[in-house]
Structure 1
Amino acid sequence: MGDVRLAAGLRAEQLTAWLLRQFGDVIGEMSRPLTGESPYPFFAGVRERAPMVRSRSGVWLTARYSTCNAIMRDRRFGVRTTAGVSSAAVLAKALAELEIEEFLGLDPPGQTRMRALMAPSFSPSANKIYRDRVTAIVHRTLDRVPGRGPFDVITDFAEPIPQAVIAEVIGAPPRYHARLGHIAKRVGLLTDPVMGFARLREIRRLMTETKAMFGEMVEQRRAEGVDERPTDMIGSLLLASTKQEVPLGEMQSLLIATLIAGTENTVSLLGNAVHNLLEHPAQWDRLVADPTRSPGAMEETMRFDSTTLFTIRYPHEDVRIEGCLIKADSPVLALIGGANHDPAIFSDPETFDITRPNASDHLTFAAGRYFCIGAPLARLEGELALRALAERLPGLRRAGHPVYRTSAGFRALTALPVAA
């Protein structure tokens, strides 16, 4: 009976979105899955229309940088309603029986606790440890790429690097690496709209398997003894459990969140970066001439071609924003992709420029207390990967058409044929 209700919930969500699109409603257009079409003209229309735009469904949207930034930093807003309901309500119900609901995001005090447990694995000191590991992974990956023949940027470069890095960060034994990489790829970004019940069932099956694998890893490491100076996440969680109660289920939730978010987002960032560099040959030539520009290339990619197009916030009390009264628990969509193209902040925003001085002001990693805790690691991976690519394959060029994933909230490639 539970599966029947979930299927009905999915159909109701899809029907509502379809009806709103028929009436030209702004949230109906937002929910339209795209396959490579640029979302930025739509975002520009929302941005020019008003600071805050209200859908017939009651959802508010903003594509202005100053408004998005203010909302994401405003502590009166959370990622769930005051009743604790997530924006991914149907998916949350589907995963509730697996006891991994934390993956969908928490508000304080739960969010504060989760970030504290994850912090040792994503601190500046941890990044110093990871630098040599990431460098080795990047060059090992490029060693396998054909020197002159065609290869695919996504499957041969963008996927293997984050998959290997996150496995190292987690502390997963080598025998689990291939399976974890496959699961991360299949599950993708769970907050993107689920397009059918079969997909939902696959996610549940994969999450059940992943939870069990992480349970095995944690208990195996626990039996080996707690490391007082851990260099991976499982070790850090076990050390924390000697000082406070950290249930196994909580550890599994954090490890799942790290696997999925830490893999999928970075894969997409790397793919989008290479695609935009090759689409703008003068910018690729700049990077080849000076590979130390790789951090700037990653920041401009995150501004120019955001992987995450929007994020949802809920006011926990009535709030007045830009002269509009937003009632408590009314969904507010901060259109990150629109904010990152706001000409009030970024001059000539439709130009891809890896030397842009304020590119790092983008909101792709969000802002405030929900700022992505893994952002420093993603930046490190992007810096090292693009630098090595420019140094080792300076003649890189397109060898086919890019293929985009079909998505309403995420902009990423599934294939990018190139040759060196």
Structure 2
Amino acid sequence: MENSPPATATDFDVTADWHVAAPYEFLRRLRHERPVFRSEHLGAYVLTRHEDVRAAYGDAKRFSSEGSLTISRSLADETRKVLGDQGSFLSSFVANVDPPTHTRLRRSVSRAFTPRAVTAMEELFRRLNEDILDRVAPRGEADFVTELGHVPSAKLSARFIGVPEEDEEFVKEHVKDWFMLFLSPQPPDRQLVLARSFLTYLDYVDKLVAARAAEPRDDFTSLMTGLIGTELSHREVVELISTILLGGNDTVPNQLGNSVLRLLRENAWPLPPELLRNAVEECMRIDGSSLGSFRYALDDVDLPGGEGEPVTIPRGSLVLLSTDSAAHDETVFPGPETFDLGRPNSDAHMTFGYGIHFCVGAALARLQLRTALEVLGERLPGLRLVPGQTIAYRRSIVGRGLPSLFVEW
């Protein structure tokens, strides 16, 4: 595993394994010496202190989300040509816009994430986990990521959105390409393959939206298509659905894999029921599946740098709000590299964002993580890592996830 020592690093490097696997010593030095850091590698300023990250999330007048997820700027020219208008994909997604557009979109999406609706999904998700374990448990071993962790979450997302069961595998594979194209460094030839896959995926979602508009069913897509022409546009619905499927097929299962790895390494498996809730928060804090979010500075922004001297972030600059660093800020989390199931403020992490852009699906994600860990602990109390395996994370700009994790019981 390529792991250039962070102690010698002078900038981020998304092509190096340590960027995702072990950035914490580097981030600690930034917090102490250059908390407002200009990264040439990322082409962005990076905020690393918990206080600054939280303040920026809450300050839409100075730190804009407009276009912050449109990462086609990192793509080769030929890839951009293939994508065409879709190079600005997510331009109308709720996490990628400012008020008043954000207020309108979030109000619409929130209708599907009421506490009652989220609670109603718990039993379905529990059953999906049990079904997978019924098939896999007798074998005594598995790749946790591909065979246990991702499948129930992907199926729950598909049922919620209204994706037919026969299309679930298609969606899963194309969502993986979606992630790799926009959020992971890829050579130009590979970008073109992923771009064509992405366009195929968008075409599928577009047709799903049209089908539900013509014949509504009891699912999220139908609920959203019912708002087309009054509250939402067709494209906004396509982008909402595409991105929610990303969360269910990637972000949430990535967090589950990270959490299981952490719990096994810490000899904390299985979890007692009374520790489940806090364990989920501490796992998200110490091994978050999201490394941060980008914003654009709408004006010159002055912030205290190392030793208090002011640093000016020029208007128009791209800014990374490093939730990964904020979650390891020792002024908020004493002994941040220590995994502490009794930590009283574990939930002060910002893996789900903060302020008006706090993830609308956070309650459902937390429910999924708690339920999966509970069922897995009950069914596989002897779960352990297969010895001798190399554990490496996917290379990514702002995500943390494992491509594989071999376990036995």
> Is TM (by shorter chain) over 0.5?
yes
Which consecutive unaligned segments of at least 5 residues does structure 1 have?
1-23
Count the aligned residue pairs: 385
**The 10-residue stretch of structure 1 (206-215 or 267-276) with the greater mean CA deviation from structure 2:** 206-215
Give 2:311's match in structure 1, choosing from 321, 324, 333.
Answer: 324
Query: Alpha carbons of 1:148 and 1:31: their partners in 2 closer, same or farther (altered >3 Å)?
Result: closer
Greater shift in the superposed pair: 164-173 or 245-254: 245-254
Check if 1:261 corresponds to 2:247.
Answer: yes
Q: Does 1:235 align with 2:230?
A: no
1:79 and 2:74 correspond: no
Could you say what secondary structure the match of 2:407 adopts? strand
2:16 is the counterpart of 1:33: yes
Aligned-partner Cα distance in 2 for 1:333–1:376 = 25
Q: Which amino acid aligns with 2:36?
A: M
Q: CA deviation at 1:266?
A: 0.8
Q: Which residue of 1 aligns with 2:386?
A: 399
Q: How does 1:334-349 map to 2 (within 5 A)?
A: 334-349=321-336
1:90 positional shift: 4.1
Structure 2: stretches of 5+ with no match in the other structure:
1-7, 305-309
Q: Return the match for 2:275 from 281, 293, 296.
A: 293
Determine if the alignment matches structure 1 residue 49 to structure 2 residue 33: yes
Q: Superposed, which structure 2 residues align to 1:143-162 within 5 Å? A: 143-147=134-138, 149-162=140-153
Q: In the alignment, residue 12 of structure 2 is paired with which amino acid? A: E
Q: Deviations over 1:87-116 (max 9, x none)?
A: 542459454423734358233333333323
User: Take 1:25 and 1:155, find their aligned partners in 2: how far apart are those partners?
Assistant: 33
Q: Which of 280, 290, 314 does residue 296 from structure 2 map onto?
A: 314
Distance in 2 (CA, whole Å) between partners of 1:114 and 1:93 is 27
How many Å separate the matches in 2 of 1:34 and 1:261? 23
CA distance in 2, matches of 1:158, 1:355: 25
8 Å Cα contact 1:312-1:331 kept in structure 2? yes
Residue 137 of structure 2 is aligned to residue 142 of structure 1: no
2-structure distance, mates of 1:210, 1:195: 19
Matched, 1:188 2:195: no
Task: Give 1:381 shift.
Answer: 0.7
Q: Could you tell which deviates more after superposition, 178-187 or 101-110?
A: 101-110
Match for residue 198 of structure 1 among 172, 177, 189: 189
Q: Aligned pair 1:248/2:239, yes or no? A: no
1:259-310, Cα deviation, whole Å (9 max, x unpaired): 11332111210100100000000x225x1xx234222222111101122223
More displaced, 49-58 or 384-393? 49-58
Sort the Cα spacing of 1:258 and 1:37 in 2 relative to 1 into closer, same or farther, 3 A.
Answer: closer
1:233, CA displacement in angstroms? 1.2
Q: Which moved more, 1:149-158 or 1:183-192?
A: 183-192
Q: What residue number does 1:209 align with?
A: 200
Do 1:80 and 1:87's aligned partners in 2 also have CA atoms closer than 8 Å? Answer: no
1:112 aligns with 2:103: yes
Query: Does structure 1 residue 221 correspond to structure 2 residue 207?
Result: no
- The answer (yes or no) to whether the contact 1:73–1:367 under 8 Å persists in 2 is yes
Q: Residue 269 of structure 2 corresponds to which residue in structure 1?
A: 284
1:245, 1:302 → 2: CA distance? 34
Distance (Å, rounded) in 1 between the aligned partners of 2:399 and 2:210: 35
* Contact map agreement 1:298 1:382 (CA 8 A) in 2: yes
Superposition RMSD on alpha carbons, in Å?
2.6
1:49-68 matched pairs, under 5 angstroms: 49-55=33-39, 59-68=44-53
Equivalents in 2 of 1:370, 1:71: separation in Å?
11
Shift of 1:192: 2.0
- Give the secondary structure class of the aligned counterpart of 1:276: helix
* 8 A Cα contact 1:309 1:411, kept in partner: yes
TM-score by length of 2: 0.86
In the alignment, the residues of structure 2 paired with residue 223 and residue 86 of structure 1 have an alpha-carbon distance, to the nearest angstrom, of 30
- Counterpart of 2:346 in structure 1 is 359
Q: Please say if residues 342 and 349 of structure 1, whose CA atoms lie closer than 8 Å, have aligned partners that are also in contact.
A: yes
Residue 245 of structure 1, CA deviation:
5.5
Q: Give TM-score, length-normalised by structure 1.
A: 0.84
Question: Quick check: 2:69–2:96 contact (8 Å CA) kept in 1?
Answer: no
